[in-house]
Structures are given as C-alpha cells and as structure tokens.
C-alpha cells in the first residue's frame, strides 16, 4: 500500500531488485472483506494518510516509467466505481499510467461486465481469482474467459501469511489448468521459500502480499527497503532453483 | 414497477459483490432457501415456531391519543415490540436458523464480521435485508409475515387499507417486511424513515438514501454514505439499529422508482417521539421505530392521509439509559 513517507517507491524498487516479476499495488479501502489483519492494518494506515486511487496511479506511473515494471492494482470495487470519470475515467487514466491490469477481490465474474466494458478497450486485464471451493462446472464456464493470468487462491479464507499451505493446492491448480493455457499464479498465505519451492512444479507464479508487508514492518525504519529486497530475493531463488 | 433484471437485482441495485471463495456458498444457500420455501413441511414448522415460541400473530393496536396529538384520524401500531425478544429481528433469525438446520449446518455465525473459515460447516445469519443475494430477498421473505398480518388486521379493523404505511429504515428489514404486503396497492403510500442523527447538513447521520450515493458495500450495490474517494463514512445515530452506512438494495430501488418516500428524522426528533408515544399510549418504543413515529406530523400535513399504519419494530427497554441521559425522562 502506498504511503506519504515516500517510502513506497523505494519499496517498489527493492521488490524489483529482489527479483519480483510483477508488482501488485494495493488500493486502500475502508471495508476490505477479503483481507486478514496484515492487509487491513496496511489499508488503515494508508487511509489515515488520505491515500487515494489517483495517488496509487501516480505511484504506478513512476515505477512503470523508471523501471518498465509490470504493475497491477489490487483494490475493491467501490473506489474504482467512484473514481473521477467513473470506470471509463479510471481505465483511461490507468492505461496512461502504464498499469497492466487490476485485481478486484469482491468482483466475481457475474458482476464484472461493466468493469470489462471499460477495461477491454484500454487493453487492461482484469485478473480473475478462483478458489478451492469453485466447482468444476464453474471453472469450465469462467476460466476460458480469463485475461492475463489466472490467480488461484490457495486456501479457503482471507489473506494473511500462513505457516503451511493447503494440502490440496496441486489438485486445485490441476483442475484449473484443464481450462486454460494462460499462466497460473498461486497466492494467499505464501510466506516462505519452502512454500515457493513446493509450488515450482504446480504453478507458473506465486503472489506474495501479507508476508512482504510483514517483512517490511518488522524491519527498522531505514532498513525496510533492504529487508524487502532480501525477502523477495529468497523467494525468487526458491522459485528458480 | 421495479425491473428485476435477474434474481438478486433490483433495477441497478443488489447483486453479489463477493470473493470467488464465497460464490458457491451463496449459490448453495439460494438453492436451499428456494427449496425450503416450496416445502409445505418447512413452512408448517416455521409457522409453528412463529406462533408458539415467537408469539405471532402480533397485535395491531389503535393509538387514538397519539393520532390526536399528531393530527391524524387513526394511527395503528403493528406490535413487533411484543414478539419474543422484543423486536421483529426474531422473524428472520428463526427462519434462517431453521434453514441452516435443514442444510445440515452445525454452526451459526452472526454478524461479527467473522472471516470465511469454516464456510462449509457454518451458516452466516444476516440480520437485515442487506448483503449479497440471496440475503435481501430471503430476509424480506421471512419478514413479510409482518405485512401479511398487518394488511389483514387493517382490513378487519378499518374495513379498508391504510392511507399510509410508515417504518424506520436502517438496513431495512422491518420496513421491507411491512411494505411488501402493500407494494401492489397503488393507493397506499409507503414512507421509510432513516436516522437523521444531528441533521443531514451536519454530515453526522446514518441516512443512506436521503444523504447517500450509489456504491458497493458488504456484497451489494446500493446507496451508501461515502466520501469522494469511495471510502465508507462513519455514521451517527442515537439508535444503534439504524446506525449503518448502507441500506438494503430493494429500498434503494423503491426510492429510485418513487414507490416509497424516504425521509430522515433527527436524534432529537426521535427522542421526542419516544416520549410522546410513551406518554400518550403507555407504549415504550425502541429508538429505531421512534424515528417512524417522529414522521407522523409531517405525514398529517397531507389531507388525504387519515389512517396511518406504523411498524413498531421493537420495544424501548434497551434504550432507557440513553433516553434518561438525554433528559427526555426525568
């Protein structure tokens, strides 16, 4: 999540230096119902500083320009809907900023038509999330429509670092892979190199959110960027080995 | 009158703005609810519990001294305050609990903002006509007993339908429950009263329809109180039950369609109405329906409004401390 301490751009660079292939920038929202304590707290801090979607776009534009980074915005439906100019205004500004796409955790396929109508013409992807609870019939219907990559949520629950990943992640990803040739990323709970290593033969990418935020907040104020770089680097190494 | 484009949609409002993880759960819930609705045995069991344990049907009480005080010919109070637990909430709680049992759920989660763990074994019991489909439709369905009884009771008492039906609106469950029986009665005016707090202009209120705008909150597209960034605002009301920054999507649609007139009454007006009903009729209302009582004088200004039905959604024992602190009772 961005903040006014100007720490954000330093952190984004650190993540890239550590080997991140894609950056997910969180848009704060007052009611983040899919998130656990870590992301909730980060969102609260950002909101207290008055961070807006416009500022998130500005932050994204800078890192895209400076490092040619692939940036996704992660946020809930309401702030996107209420953006100046509505969804069309947002899509236009996001495309100008060089954002690659968005992830909207409270927007299931059934409710996504107006978002897709605004995003598609601007070449922006809306990344769908699928869960272990999604039945095959639903996967068969919806996964073929996915854009960019397919985001598989590894567990039934909210975001937050976990010690162990769900036992059935491989089985779940297998069920999804039958319906797409797009890359599949697994996220939620991933917090350690062992998790990444265990997913090497299962997924094409991993998404790490809360654990990265934890690494940042655990570090001393002027060592946060380095702590993040080192953390990302350890995960990237486990993904390559 | 309201275009139901698909189940769970009321014009542009409603829907299921939920994480993918929960989509199968609400689909299962909707299927189970529709199945139970069509099952005569389930309906019989529900009716039995509502009759023998909740104490239905609740009476319709004439309030002649109140009517006189506000300038109306007749005021009829639908006494949800006399239901077991002292409020209309029990109607939907019982219905959803029986449904959960029928679905084989072992645990109930009720409005603690609990996480999504145990989605399979637990059932989320939502207390108002808000949230993702099927909750608004289901809660309306369980609360519609209020309106069905009241409509029959009015016909028996007045020999006619009331001119106006008025109810307080927080999330909107008691209001949709009583309104639902009269929606198709074109000559019956419907009035929903929201929490005006310290006044709409002050920004310190909880009137999502009167003072809000379109947004997505808690799984549904509806009218919410939000800032320019789409962040949901803090709300203020002397009554906890109306203190919510959103409203049921069906109410948003009814307001937009002009079928229901939504108004807001302030904390002070609700407190005065609390005292008025207590003194004139010896009935202590909860502060929530006191907002509906507070709207009666305004309703009386319309000469065509003579007989008014009020949903007295709960009793006010729980509010005595607040009321004494505010100096309404000495």
| Global pTM value | 0.94
Contacts B131 to A, Cβ<8 Å: none
The label of the residue with tokens 């329809």 reads B209
Q: Which of B92, B128, B208, B313 is catalytic?
A: B313
- For A63, residues 6+ apart whose C-beta sits below 8 A from its C-beta are A9, A12, A13, A16, A23, A69, A71
Residue labelled with tokens 């059934």: A110
- Selected catalytic residue, list A35, A59, A93, A128: A35
CB B28 within 8 A of CB B48: no
How far, in Å, are A9, A219, A232, B20, B208 from residue A224 at the CA level?
12, 5, 12, 33, 42
Is the pLDDT at B111 greater than 90, yes or no? no
| A48 and chain B in contact, CB less than 8 A | no
Of B17, B21, B228, the CB nearest to A77: B17
Confidence of residue B117 (pLDDT cuts 50, 70, 90): very low
Q: Which residues pair with A125 in a beta bridge?
A: A101
Question: CB-based contacts of B314: which residues, under 8 Å, 6+ apart?
Answer: B80, B81, B86, B87, B88, B89, B241, B285, B286, B288, B289
d(Cα A110, Cα A128) in Å, to the nearest integer? 11
**pLDDT tens, residue order, chain A (241 aa):** 766 656 889 999 999 999 999 999 999 999 999 888 988 999 999 999 999 999 999 999 999 999 999 999 999 999 999 999 999 999 999 999 999 999 999 999 999 999 999 999 999 999 999 998 899 999 999 999 999 999 999 887 788 878 777 778 999 999 999 999 999 999 988 999 999 999 999 999 999 999 999 999 999 988 999 999 999 999 999 998 7
Q: Which of B16, B119, B218 faces A133 most closely, judged by CB atoms?
A: B119
- pLDDT (mean) for B143-153: 98
B98's tokens: 């029986």
For the record, the structure tokens of A10 come out as: 């330093």
With an 8 Å Cβ cutoff, is A187 touching chain B?
Answer: no
**Do residues A58 and A12 touch, judged by C-beta distance below 8 A?**
no
Q: Is the ipTM of this complex over 0.95?
A: no
Chain B residues in contact with A77 (beta carbon < 8 A): 17, 216
DSSP bridge partners of B261: B191
Cβ-based neighbours of B218, under 8 Å, separated by 6 or more: A31, A33, B130, B131, B132, B246
Is B111 marked active-site? yes
Instruction: State the count of interchain CB pairs (< 8 A) between A and B.
Output: 95
For chain A, say whether B132 makes contact (Cβ under 8 Å). Answer: no
Distance between A68 CA and the closest CA of chain B, angstroms: 28
């Amino acid at each position: 999540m961005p903040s006014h301490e100007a720490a954000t751009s330093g952190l984004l660079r650190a993540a890239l230096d550590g080997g991140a292939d894609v950056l997910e920038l969180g848009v704060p929202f007052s009611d983040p119902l899919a998130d656990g304590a870590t992301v909730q707290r980060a969102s609260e801090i950002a909101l207290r500083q008055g961070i807006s979607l416009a500022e998130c776009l500005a932050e994204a534009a800078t890192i895209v320009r400076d490092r040619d980074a692939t940036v996704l915005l992660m946020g809930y439906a309401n702030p996107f809907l209420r953006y100046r100019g509505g969804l069309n205004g947002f899509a236009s500004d996001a495309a100008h900023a060089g954002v690659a796409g968005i992830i909207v955790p409270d927007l299931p396929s059934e409710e996504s038509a107006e978002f897709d109508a605004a995003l598609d013409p601007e070449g922006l992807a809306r990344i769908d999330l699928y869960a272990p609870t999604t039945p095959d019939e639903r996967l068969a219907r919806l996964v073929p429509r996915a854009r960019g990559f397919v985001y598989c949520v590894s567990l039934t629950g909210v975001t937050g670092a976990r010690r162990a990943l769900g036992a059935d992640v491989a089985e779940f990803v297998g069920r999804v892979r039958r319906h797409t040739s797009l890359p599949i990323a697994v996220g939620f709970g991933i917090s350690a190199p062992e998790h990444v290593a265990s997913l090497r033969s299962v997924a094409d990418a991993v998404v790490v959110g809360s654990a990265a935020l934890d690494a940042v907040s655990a570090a001393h104020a002027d060592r946060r960027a380095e702590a993040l770089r080192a953390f990302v680097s350890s995960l990237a190494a486990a993904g390559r080995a | 009158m309201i275009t139901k484009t698909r189940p769970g949609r009321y014009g542009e409002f409603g829907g299921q703005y939920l994480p993918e993880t929960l989509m199968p759960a609400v689909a299962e819930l909707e299927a189970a609810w529709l199945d139970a609705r069509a099952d005569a045995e389930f309906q019989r069991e529900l009716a039995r519990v509502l009759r023998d344990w909740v104490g239905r049907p609740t009476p319709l009480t004439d309030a002649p001294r109140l009517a006189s005080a506000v300038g109306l010919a007749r005021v009829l109070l639908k006494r949800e305050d006399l239901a077991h637990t002292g409020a209309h909430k029990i109607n939907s709680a019982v219905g959803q609990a029986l449904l959960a049992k029928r679905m084989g759920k072992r645990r109930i989660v009720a409005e603690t903002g609990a996480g999504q763990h145990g989605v399979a074994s637990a059932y989320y019991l939502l207390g108002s006509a808000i949230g993702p489909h099927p909750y608004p439709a289901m809660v309306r369905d369980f609360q519609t007993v209020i309106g069905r009884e009241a409509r029959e009771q009015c016909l028996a008492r007045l020999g006619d339908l009331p001119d106006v039906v008025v109810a307080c609106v927080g999330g909107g469950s008691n209001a949709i429950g009583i309104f639902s029986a009269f929606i198709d009665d074109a000559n019956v005016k419907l009035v929903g009263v929201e929490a005006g707090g310290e006044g709409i202009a002050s920004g310190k209120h909880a009137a999502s329809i009167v003072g809000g705008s379109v947004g997505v909150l808690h799984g549904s597209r509806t009218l919410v109180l939000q800032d320019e960034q789409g962040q949901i605002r803090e709300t203020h009301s002397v009554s906890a039950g109306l203190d919510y920054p959103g409203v049921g999507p069906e109410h948003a649609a009814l307001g937009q369609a002009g079928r229901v007139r939504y108004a807001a009454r302030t904390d002070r007006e609700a407190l005065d109405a609390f005292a008025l009903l207590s003194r004139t009729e010896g009935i202590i209302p909860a502060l929530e329906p006191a907002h509906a009582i507070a709207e009666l004088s305004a309703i009386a200004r319309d000469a065509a409004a003579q007989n008014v039905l009020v949903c007295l959604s709960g009793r006010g024992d729980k509010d005595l401390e607040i009321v004494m602190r505010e100096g309404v009772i000495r």
